[in-house]
Amino acid sequence: MSVMTEHVYVVAIGASTPVGRDAWSSAAAVRAGISGFAEHPYMIDTAGEPMRAAIAPWLDIDCQGQERFEALLFPAIDQALQPVVEAGDPKLRVALALGLPSARPGLPTELGDALRASIATRYPGRFVAQAVLENGHAAGLLGLHASIRKMAENAFDVCVLAGVESYLAPETLEWLEENEQLHGAGPLNNAWGFIPGEGAGAVLFAVESAVQRLRVEPLGQVLSVGRGFEQNRIKTKTVCIGEGLTAAFREGLSGLPSGATVTDVYCDMNGEPYRADEFGFACLRTKEAFESASDFVAPADCWGDVSAASAPLAFLLSVAASKKAYSNGPYAFLWASSEGGERGSALLALPVIERE
C-alpha cells in the first residue's frame, strides 16, 4: 500500500559528493556534466591498470572506514538541519532516518551502530528517534516511507532523511571486480560495470505545521511513496522482468493528479544492463504516467554509483532543477533499486519557476 502524503514537504537539502562539498555546488556540477572520476592512487585491476572511481578530492585517500563515512555524512546532515538550528524551537521534534549500504566485503562491521553512536555524540539530544536502514540503493526511499507513517501518527514533526556511501575500501573494489561489476576492470575491459563512487545526501522533510514554525518556503511536496520487492535479483540465475520495480512505480505514482504526467525522472541507473532492463519493463507497464520515460537523469555519470546516498541526492537534484528553473515541469519521479531486491519510488510536486 502506498503512502499518500498531502502535507509533507521538502524544506532543506544537504550533500557532499566528489563534484561538490555542498548541495548546490553538487547539483550545479551534475547539471554541467562535470565528472568526479579519477584513477585510484594505488588500486590496480587484474589487467594491471589503475582502477577508476569517483573520489571526493577533499578527503585524503588514507581516510578509510567509519571515519570516511562520517566525513561525508556529517556535512550533509549539517546543511539539511540549518533551518532547525536557525528556528531554535525547542519543542520541534526532529527524527533521523539513515540509509547505509548492505553488507559486503570492505564495509566496516557494525557500521550502523557505530554511526548511530557518533550521531548521538555530534548532535546530543537533537533527534527524538533514529532509524538505520542497511538496504543500499533503495534505503532512502524505504526510510521516507516509514518516516511519513510516523509523522502521520504524530511521532515527530520533522525528519532528516540521509544516506551515505563510499566504495573505496580496497576489499570492496576487489569484490566488485570479482563480480564483474567494476567498469573497465579485467582483461576484457568490462564496459557494463559501474564506476564506484562515494557521497552523502540529506533532506529535511516537515509536516505543514512544522513548515510554519520553521518559517521557510517549501522546496517541494511529497505526493506519494511506493515500495516493491524483486524476487529475480542480480547475481542470480533468474531473469528479471521488472515486477518489483513495477510495483514500486505503481504505488509511487498513485499521488499523481488526474490528467497530469511525470515531467522529470531521477534514478540510480549506473550502466549495468540489469538496471536498464528492469527500468524498461517497468516503464512499459506505466508509460501512460510519463511525458517521456526515456528522458531521465542518472547522475552516476558524474559522481559514480552512490548506493545508499542515491535517493537523498535524487531529491537534491529534483529540487535544484525546480529552484534554478531548468526542470521540465512540476512533477518529479524518483526511483532506486537495491541488489537485495528492495525497490522504492517517490513522487514530488515542485514549484514551477519561469525561465528568464
Alpha-carbon gap, residue 266 to 203, rounded angstroms: 15
**Whether residues 80 and 229 fall in one domain:** no
Examine residue 1 and state whether it is found in any structural domain, yes or no.
no
Alpha-carbon gap, residue 294 to 301, rounded angstroms: 16
Low-confidence ranges of the chain (pLDDT < 70): 1-6, 185-189, 354-356
Buried b (16+ CB within 10 A) or exposed e, 3-37: bebebbbbbbbbbbbbbbbbbbebbebbbeeeebb
Residue 2 confidence (pLDDT): 47
Examine residue 319 and state whether it is found in any structural domain, yes or no.
yes
**Whether residues 271 and 166 fall in one domain:** no
**Whether residues 76 and 208 fall in one domain:** yes
Q: By residue range, what is the domain housing residue 132?
A: 8-214
**Whether residues 188 and 235 fall in one domain:** no
**Whether residues 175 and 35 fall in one domain:** yes
Q: What angle do CA 233, 238, 243 make, to 5 degrees?
A: 60
Buried b (16+ CB within 10 A) or exposed e, 152-163: eeeebbbbbbbb
Examine residue 355 and state whether it is found in any structural domain, yes or no.
no
Examine residue 69 and state whether it is found in any structural domain, yes or no.
yes
Sign of CA dihedral 256, 257, 259, 260: negative
Using the 3D structure, point to which of 184, 214, 244 is the last residue of a domain: 214
The CATH number given to whatever domain includes residue 284 is: 3.40.47.10
Contact by Cβ (8 Å): 229, 278: no
Alpha-carbon gap, residue 300 to 144, rounded angstroms: 22
Q: What angle do CA 325, 331, 336 make, to 5 degrees?
A: 105
**Whether residues 49 and 144 fall in one domain:** yes
In three-state secondary structure terms, 307 is helix
Residue 184 confidence (pLDDT): 77
Q: Which long-range contacts (CB under 8 A, 24 or more apart) does 289-293 make?
A: 289/249, 289/253, 289/256, 289/261, 289/262, 290/261, 290/262, 290/265, 290/333, 291/261, 291/262, 291/263, 291/328, 291/329, 293/262, 293/265
Q: Give φ, ψ of 106 to 5 degrees.
A: 90, -15
User: Residue 275, CB half-sphere, CA atoms under 13 Å: how many?
Assistant: 23
**Whether residues 137 and 242 fall in one domain:** no
Residue 356 confidence (pLDDT): 57
Residue 170 confidence (pLDDT): 97
Alpha-carbon gap, residue 32 to 293, rounded angstroms: 22
Closest by CA to 197, choosing from 310, 304, 323, 39, is 304
- How many domains in the chain? 2
**Whether residues 177 and 32 fall in one domain:** yes
**Whether residues 144 and 254 fall in one domain:** no
**Whether residues 202 and 277 fall in one domain:** no
Using the 3D structure, point to which of 153, 187, 214 is the last residue of a domain: 214
User: Residue 190, CB half-sphere, CA atoms under 13 Å: how many?
Assistant: 23
Sign of CA dihedral 76, 77, 81, 85: negative
**Average pLDDT of the chain?**
94
Burial class (CB in 10 A: 0-12, 13-18, 19+), 115: buried
Examine residue 157 and state whether it is found in any structural domain, yes or no.
yes
**Whether residues 29 and 164 fall in one domain:** yes
DSSP letter, residue 188: T
Using the 3D structure, point to which of 214, 229, 251 is the last residue of a domain: 214
Closest by CA to 166, choosing from 201, 133, 199, 119, is 199
Examine residue 33 and state whether it is found in any structural domain, yes or no.
yes
Residue 355 confidence (pLDDT): 61
Examine residue 128 and state whether it is found in any structural domain, yes or no.
yes
**Whether residues 173 and 30 fall in one domain:** yes
Examine residue 113 and state whether it is found in any structural domain, yes or no.
yes
pLDDT digits (tens, 9 = 90+) for 174-207: 999 999 999 975 555 677 899 999 999 999 999 9
Alpha-carbon gap, residue 229 to 240, rounded angstroms: 11
